[in-house]
Structure 1
């Protein structure tokens, strides 16, 4: 998708390149955030290291792009930059045409400019970090992002915590977080990854994510989508076998508003939970048993892929068993394994193959039941899935 605004190409081009010691370029999309933007910038300016010492202001910079705002957001950010000249804050304002005025366009513009600026400074190991204008980053946010990337990771997803209670949807939200964190723990048991050991979580979203310049380019850059652009980028990273660390240390605090900027997102989910609670609707989530089966299958398939691409050994028996478990043809699974140069590419094709079956359906269950099953499993991973599955269906793990 080509951006039509002539001013888009000039964004952040009039500023001097970041210094050679600049490791991180933080991007902040802003629209009508006058009520929270000052606090957002304060948190970004007051970054410290693990010893509580202020970070070198030259070690990171912040790009703020105010877009299609009708409040004083641009004035607030501009005045902040003037008040704190040592803080590397660059502010731009843009008005996009209606069909482009969405978060996907703005975050892509920002991340592209961050990439360009770091590349102009010959910072091949530079980091693009993303947050939002209604979000307060932790005081060691930049430090922990740098540390996680220094461990050999290509990308970092941090925890996004709500700054204030989500009203009547609070219980639904906490249940959802519990379910997803337990699911991440089960995933780390069944398909452990060296770069993302437990404790880890489930989030890689625009309010708290980072990626190296090298991987940003390799993954095809952020997709320009009106919503869920971050989820699509996460999928692209997985396709490239990116080492993604889901770190609890990298945390931010965001608003729990229900008047969101997009039709799909956290604010809309909160709104739906409020309506569900009001109407007495049960909170449903994707069923645990099939998900555990898929985690286990992915781990076994990863071993098969590695044996073939590293040692030219085809594990025929294992592939046959996997094909039976996934209800796909063994020959097709073997051919996909041989053709795929990246495991992420292979797994994506297998998931699509499984979901293309005419009998495939996504099963749901009450969230309290799902949480109970997951707690049983993580306490005793030796249980088969069928032992944690109350409806009597058998999903053996081995």
Structure 2
């Protein structure tokens, strides 16, 4: 068996390969490798540690001579549908236990791709699912032979089963399908993209490098949430709007002069294959992989735009597929009397300091006086000749006054008043001070 072909071993085949590997190691008098099947010199199988296969991302064991053995605890099956040539756009979807929603998700994506009239396809990563998600996806493609797609049906160890890992596998596979100037997009299996979502993303990418689209709740599901949810939404939304206004006032960006929001959500991202390669791909994190990815792009000075036009409708379920995410946030707002706010919502004075300093540093970068004043307070070896985003990340991580502080809902009225008073005190010519 060569490379990464096939979807796994029959148990007896795995046992035979383990015994052969043990005999090979004893004869060659070399210790077992750290990854793959761990075999004692007696031939006893002692467990499994899975390195990564760089060709398709599957855990493998590489014995001497280049032979490859699949992990008995891992499975990675790739299936292709429709025309695989000439893709310009690829939309990546992670899915786990989504049999009730996957058909609607794929229907919406196919309609949006068709409306955009741009050749491309869907890359669906079904990871550690316990239901019929993969089977339903196969049936869907069987009924839509003109919709190009790739299905990655994976079963991975628990430490590789998160949404970040699934997105990464899908984006890597999609990148291999695209030219260097191709476009990658991501959404979620429990979401429905707007018919104009793909086209809107392509239009926005003429203005910036990474597009964070608008994620709205599905109205029918929102209306079924308990009444307790409504206690917090308006107050949190008003403070979020104030923070967005503050950012655009103190640190305006020519490629995003009036941001619609500040939500970096995997449910609606669009970016070039070049950006994806430059930032090292999607982080393999169980939660927040989307925000970390966007932060990594900002640190490399890619232009980020928080756009209104690309719209995705997200589910309002209270039990999600990860330990955090939107479902956990919704559940907290229903069940808790004083839940935490979104992490972007920080104390008003901290936000004034953060974005005021960031805007001044950006305007004076790289040789301004303020940059020179801060330099002695930063760790040695920082590079003022590199990316502004990386320098700013260093400043944020170093200065105590910029450490993140999470607010609770009960904190918002006082913080809203501080920002309202600050805006009221700004004349049109003084808002950047």
**Superposition TM-score tier, normalisation by shorter sequence:** 0.7 to 0.9
Corresponding residue to 1:41 among 101, 106, 114: 106
Corresponding residue to 1:149 among 205, 226, 233: 205
Q: How far does residue 98 in structure 1 lie from its aligned partner after superposition?
A: 2.0
Counterparts of residues 72-151 of structure 1 (less than 5 Å): 72-118=132-178, 123-151=179-207
Q: What secondary structure is seen at the aligned counterpart in 2 of 1:286?
A: coil
Q: Is the aligned partner of 1:29 residue 2:94?
A: yes
Q: What is aligned with 1:389?
A: none
Q: What secondary structure is seen at the aligned counterpart in 2 of 1:261?
A: coil
Shift in CA distance, 159/241, structure 1 to aligned 2, threshold 3 Å:
same
Query: Whole-Å Cα distance in 1 between the matches of residues 170 and 243 of structure 2?
Result: 32
Q: How far does residue 206 in structure 1 lie from its aligned partner after superposition?
A: 1.1
Shift in CA distance, 194/30, structure 1 to aligned 2, threshold 3 Å:
same
Query: Whole-Å Cα distance in 2 between the matches of residues 27 and 265 of structure 1?
Result: 18
Q: How far does residue 169 in structure 1 lie from its aligned partner after superposition?
A: 2.0
Counterparts of residues 344-355 of structure 1 (less than 5 Å): 344-355=389-400
Q: What is aligned with 2:115?
A: 54
Corresponding residue to 1:252 among 312, 322, 325: 312
Q: What secondary structure is seen at the aligned counterpart in 2 of 1:46?
A: helix
Query: Whole-Å Cα distance in 2 between the matches of residues 381 and 249 of structure 1?
Result: 30
- TM-score scaled to structure 2, two decimals? 0.74
The structure that has the greater radius of gyration is 2
Shift in CA distance, 209/177, structure 1 to aligned 2, threshold 3 Å:
farther
Q: Unaligned stretches of 5+ in structure 1?
A: 309-314, 324-328, 386-395
Query: Whole-Å Cα distance in 2 between the matches of residues 332 and 283 of structure 1?
Result: 32
Query: Whole-Å Cα distance in 2 between the matches of residues 90 and 38 of structure 1?
Result: 15
Report 1 or 2 for greater relative contact order, CA contacts < 8 Å, sequence distance ≥ 6. 1
Q: What is aligned with 1:288?
A: 348
Q: How far does residue 144 in structure 1 lie from its aligned partner after superposition?
A: 0.7
CA contact (8 A) 2:82 2:146 kept: no
Select between 135-144 and 204-213 the one with higher mean Cα deviation. 204-213
Q: Which has the higher helix share?
A: 1
Matched residue count: 357
Shift in CA distance, 78/177, structure 1 to aligned 2, threshold 3 Å:
farther
Residues 235-282 of structure 1: CA distance to partner in whole angstroms, max 9, x if unpaired?
Answer: 1111101111110101101111111222222211222222223xxx37
Q: Is the aligned partner of 1:382 residue 2:423?
A: no
Query: Whole-Å Cα distance in 2 between the matches of residues 102 and 59 of structure 1?
Result: 30
- TM-score scaled to structure 1, two decimals? 0.80
Q: What is aligned with 1:311?
A: none
Shift in CA distance, 74/343, structure 1 to aligned 2, threshold 3 Å:
same
Q: How far does residue 342 in structure 1 lie from its aligned partner after superposition?
A: 0.5
Q: What is aligned with 1:370?
A: 415
Shift in CA distance, 45/299, structure 1 to aligned 2, threshold 3 Å:
same
Query: Whole-Å Cα distance in 2 between the matches of residues 124 and 334 of structure 1?
Result: 36
Over the residues paired in the alignment, what is the CA RMSD in angstroms? Answer: 3.1
Q: Is the aligned partner of 1:19 residue 2:85?
A: yes
Q: How far does residue 384 in structure 1 lie from its aligned partner after superposition?
A: 12
CA contact (8 A) 1:12 1:113 kept: no
Residues 264-305 of structure 1: CA distance to partner in whole angstroms, max 9, x if unpaired?
Answer: 22211222222223xxx3766521122022111111111221
Q: What is aligned with 1:391?
A: none
Q: What is aligned with 1:239?
A: 299
Query: Whole-Å Cα distance in 2 between the matches of residues 198 and 28 of structure 1?
Result: 29
Q: How far does residue 362 in structure 1 lie from its aligned partner after superposition?
A: 3.3
Corresponding residue to 2:265 among 196, 200, 205: 205
CA contact (8 A) 2:81 2:141 kept: no
Corresponding residue to 2:289 among 229, 250, 253: 229
Q: Unaligned stretches of 5+ in structure 2?
A: 1-50, 53-57, 61-69
Shift in CA distance, 239/9, structure 1 to aligned 2, threshold 3 Å:
farther
Residues 110-132 of structure 1: CA distance to partner in whole angstroms, max 9, x if unpaired?
Answer: 011111111xxxx2211110011
CA contact (8 A) 2:79 2:151 kept: no
Q: Is the aligned partner of 1:215 residue 2:275?
A: yes
Shift in CA distance, 9/148, structure 1 to aligned 2, threshold 3 Å:
farther
